């Protein structure tokens, strides 16, 4: 079932709330196997699976990026039906934001680093749309991919701050056979860029193997130097962070759980990835 109206979505879901577990997968469309794996995981753990397709303007700080974001609604709907989605919500901007959204969320230092530093306002826009969608769907479970590691951490923080009665389910990154993390932006890569892009994950894997034999600053520098030696790729950032606070560390003993997060340009396309180091 495809629903475009927020009112109709709420009415449709009202009959399920008392006796059914609602699982929710928010997306911006241009769906790939990574998204569909979230839908299948939701299907396995929920009675009713709701998937939204909405390219959220408030999380784009670059108008060109918003304009060029791939949109394939008909293909997306077909894929979602095959994957087992029960309700596909495809709202217009007016349905999500009947009035301009002026809410400001405070995530402390979590949204000031990495993606938050290079894309100011991005996570406030993410929080705006996710909070709105959570309010409409009222799921017990919501499924997010670990590829967007910082986003996942911030959505968990949002859920805790707002005391929302739902559980955020983290789902593993799905990769192409050559290791490139699946992303809607991969559709925008030229053949040459696509051929070089797997170096990102290859470098992350090699970095994992170096953890016990080098320092944090040296490993960070090695990752950036390795990527930047490629003629097609350019590192925007490579950060080694506490996986909970998202703050950069300088010593391996500073955190129990450590993540290496990276953003790389194959100009003008921007790709992100991450790997657990500890």
Catalytic residue numbers, as ranges: 35
Measured CA to CA, the distance from residue 174 to residue 159 in angstroms comes to 24
- DSSP count for the chain of H helices, then E strands: 11, 9
Measured CA to CA, the distance from residue 40 to residue 29 in angstroms comes to 16
Nearest to 58 by CA among 90, 100, 92: 100
Nearest to 146 by CA among 174, 127, 125, 187: 174
Bridge-based pairing state of the strands 87-89 and 2-3: parallel
| C-alpha count within 13 angstroms, C-beta hemisphere, residue 141 | 20
Coil, helix or strand at residue 187: helix
Coil, helix or strand at residue 27: strand
Helix, strand, coil percentages for the chain (3-state, nearest 5): 45, 20, 35
Which H or E element spans position 128?
helix 122-137
Which H or E element spans position 171?
strand 167-171
- The tokens of 206 are what? 């090699």
Tokens 């696509």 correspond to 194
Q: What is the DSSP letter of 40?
A: H
Measured CA to CA, the distance from residue 51 to residue 115 in angstroms comes to 25
């Amino acid at each position: 079932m495809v629903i475009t109206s927020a009112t109709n979505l709420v009415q449709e879901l009202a009959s399920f709330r008392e006796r059914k577990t609602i699982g929710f997968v928010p997306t911006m469309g241009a769906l790939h196997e990574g998204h569909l794996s979230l839908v299948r995981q939701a299907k396995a753990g929920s009675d009713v699976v709701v998937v939204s397709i909405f390219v959220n303007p408030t999380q784009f700080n670059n108008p060109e990026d918003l304009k060029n974001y791939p949109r394939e609604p008909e293909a997306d709907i077909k894929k979602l039906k095959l994957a087992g989605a029960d309700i596909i919500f495809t709202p217009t901007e007016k349905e999500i934001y009947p009035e301009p959204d002026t809410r400001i969320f405070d995530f402390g230092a979590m949204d000031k680093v990495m993606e938050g530093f290079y894309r100011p306002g991005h996570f406030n826009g993410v929080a705006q749309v996710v909070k709105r969608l959570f309010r409409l769907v009222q799921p017990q479970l919501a499924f997010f991919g670990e590829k967007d590691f910082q986003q996942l951490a911030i959505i968990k923080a949002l859920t805790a701050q707002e005391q929302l009665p739902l559980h955020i389910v983290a789902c593993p990154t799905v990769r192409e056979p050559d290791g490139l993390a699946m992303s809607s932006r991969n559709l925008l890569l030229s053949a040459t860029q696509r051929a070089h892009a797997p170096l990102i994950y290859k470098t992350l894997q090699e970095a994992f193997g170096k953890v016990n034999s080098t320092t944090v600053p040296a490993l960070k520098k090695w990752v950036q130097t390795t990527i930047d030696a490629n003629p097609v790729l350019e590192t925007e950032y490579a950060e080694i962070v506490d996986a909970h606070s998202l703050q950069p560390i300088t010593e391996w003993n500073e955190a129990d759980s450590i993540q290496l997060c990276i953003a790389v340009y194959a100009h003008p396309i921007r790709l992100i990835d991450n790997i657990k180091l500890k």
